[in-house]
Amino acid sequence: MSPDPARQPAPAERARRLREELRRYDHAYYVLDAPLIPDADYDALFRELQDLEQRWPELRSADSPTQRVGGSALPEFASVRHEVPMLSIRTETDTTAQGALAFDRRLRNRLGLDDDAPPLAYEAELKFDGLAISLHYEHGVLVLGATRGDGQTGEDVTQNVRTIRNLPLRLQGEAPAWLEVRGEVLMKRADFLRYNERQRARGLPTLVNPRNGAAGSIRQLDPRVAAQRPLSFYAYGWGEIRGWPAQPDTQHGMLEAFARMGLPVAEQRAHGSGPELLVRFHERILGERDSLPFDIDGVVYKVDSLALQRELGFRNREPVWAVAHKYPAQERSTRLLAIEVQVGRTGKLTPVARLEPVFVGGVTVTNATLHNEDEARRKDVRVGDTVIVRRAGDVIPEIVGVVAERRPPGAPAFDLQAQLQGRCPVCGSQIEREPGEVDWRCSGGLYCGAQRKQALLHYASRLAMDIEGLGEKLVDQLVDTGLVRSLPDIYALREPQLAALPRMADKSAANLVRAIQGSLHTTLARFVYALGIRHVGEATAKDLARHFGTLQALLDADEPRLQQVSDVGPVVARSIHTFFAQPHNREVVQQLLAAGVRWQETAAPAASAPLAGLGFVLTGTLPTLGREQARERIEAAGGKVSGSVSRKTSYVVAGAEPGSKLDKARELGIAILDEDALLRLLQDGARPD
């Protein structure tokens, strides 16, 4: 039933209600981080307000949420003179607790307070790493936004600050007749990362860091560009105020009043008496710094009483009653001396920047990761560049940008393959990068010294050669002491050598030697899996063993023949062929065979096996066969075991307490076997009726 037009509010009243609703939803979403309605519902209300304002332009107001999208581009910014100068505050560069104590001591001396006088009251706040902004509200409506500029004169950036979603265009409650709010425009880390990801996906330029992103967005002549940037605002001060009879008389009271008006104010604040409060705040925020949603470069201490602020006044154009207490810088510039390539435990090649030593984030940094070749090219990092290095807490130092104007002439772009001439820098094996992947890898897994520990751990794992007792700590000892330089060396280990290792008892040494010797008797599938060929997991190794029957047949297979194996596509086939094409990988395989590794080979093609081409699913507990035992017998007879029931499943083998797989089999009409029927099938291959 359609609404009665007579009962619908007039356009002006409806527009007013919509503006109030949308302002409330914006505040909940962007300031309180507590959305009240789904995005689709919000969008519907927003579009309704847009339609009303388009049909009746006189309803459009400066505080309407529709005015955030930005107007036409400006030829230049107009100048704005600050009635109350936007001055900077003194910086305390001593990053220890002494910085807070020195500030308190200076103030007490200036006020002539002796040691017995009561402690001073302070407000402690964050020192944001963004762009200072002045906002002018007339009777609660935003009418002007200006940059700090030189402190006396800034730039009119009203159109751009209107695009900041957590910034109210109209203040809540009873607002002063005139209020100039000062604060910081910044870009939260998560928003910065998401923005750069979208830009990269579109092939567009990215931002160097959140601070540059915020500053560049506010100074965009085209506000439509600024509207696309995810900016946030936090209030921390004020300038000219008129017509506010109930103005608070403390710093923390002012910020609380701002919050009640709907202005974003950081919750990381503290107020109280004495310098110990400042010391505790400095230490607490240092511990929380890396988990904050935005960047800071320190904290700020202010005398809490506004009357005392006025009494203390200014000196050298800086407020005596406030100080910024810095933390170690998280970003510094330095020179890139070289780009080297490291080989990881899994063969991944990572370019690493060697830097002229620079003190950043509390430590001296000489290296920074470039992650991969694509990332190095995206940032256009070149040897000889002056680069910006960032280190936050325990995060690995990273190059976040390049000072392009200081690049030496003729510096070539980074090309990993050309620099390495297509060979691993550790073992000389061929390097490769599969289509769609960003990482180059060394193909010499068994042979490469950088991958030795990982290759040994994989070889000894339960689903591979199953060498119990050969764990990570022992592998580290064996490789680090030089007892094992390649996989075949483990079969030459003897009890006295092992017993001489730290924390290795005689009994443990004997057990390990016994487990190593026991691994000599295995299966072709386990051996192939143990070689650690990229993309060859346990199931693929079994498929390869069933299909080729012998190791030699697998070694001789080209890529087209490899692709004839079930579930082996072009990528996997290429990986297998590249692995066995490396002479040193074949040499390691031959050395393992010479050490005594063996299995029962069969030249019979997979098609002649009794269960060839049949798919099985096991569910429940069988009377005599364990799950792994049943799997091995089925696979030895040419069958394939999977973990889920589908239309490709030939039989479901069910024991006690079978679960939902049995129901699925019945639903699809798949034949169900008990253990006896399975054993008969394994014995003669006769299909049950």
Q: Give me the active site residues, please.
A: 127
Tell me if 467 sits within 8 A of 460, measured CB to CB.
Answer: yes
Q: Specify the residue for token string 């009377």.
A: 623
The C-alpha atoms of residue 481 and residue 459 are separated, in whole angstroms, by 19
Interhelix angle 583-594/570-581, rounded to 10 degrees, is 70
The C-alpha atoms of residue 346 and residue 366 are separated, in whole angstroms, by 25
Who's near 520: CB < 8 A, 6+ residues apart? 491, 595, 596, 597, 598
In the DSSP assignment, the letter for residue 112 is T
Number of Cβ within a 10 Å radius of residue 555:
13
Diameter of the chain by CA atoms?
104
The full DSSP string for 562-627 is: HTTSTT--HHHHHHHHHHHHSHHHHHHHHHHHHTT-B-------GGGSTTTT-EEEEESB-SS--H
The C-alpha atoms of residue 57 and residue 399 are separated, in whole angstroms, by 50
Who's near 641: CB < 8 A, 6+ residues apart? 615, 616, 617, 618, 631, 634, 635
Interhelix angle 452-460/472-480, rounded to 10 degrees, is 140
Give the residue from 407, 410, 97, 126 showing the smallest Cα distance to 274: 97
Tell me if 635 sits within 8 A of 611, measured CB to CB.
Answer: no
The C-alpha atoms of residue 236 and residue 126 are separated, in whole angstroms, by 9
> Which residues pair with residue 161 across a beta bridge?
none
Tell me if 439 sits within 8 A of 372, measured CB to CB.
Answer: yes
Element (H, E) at 530: helix 524-530
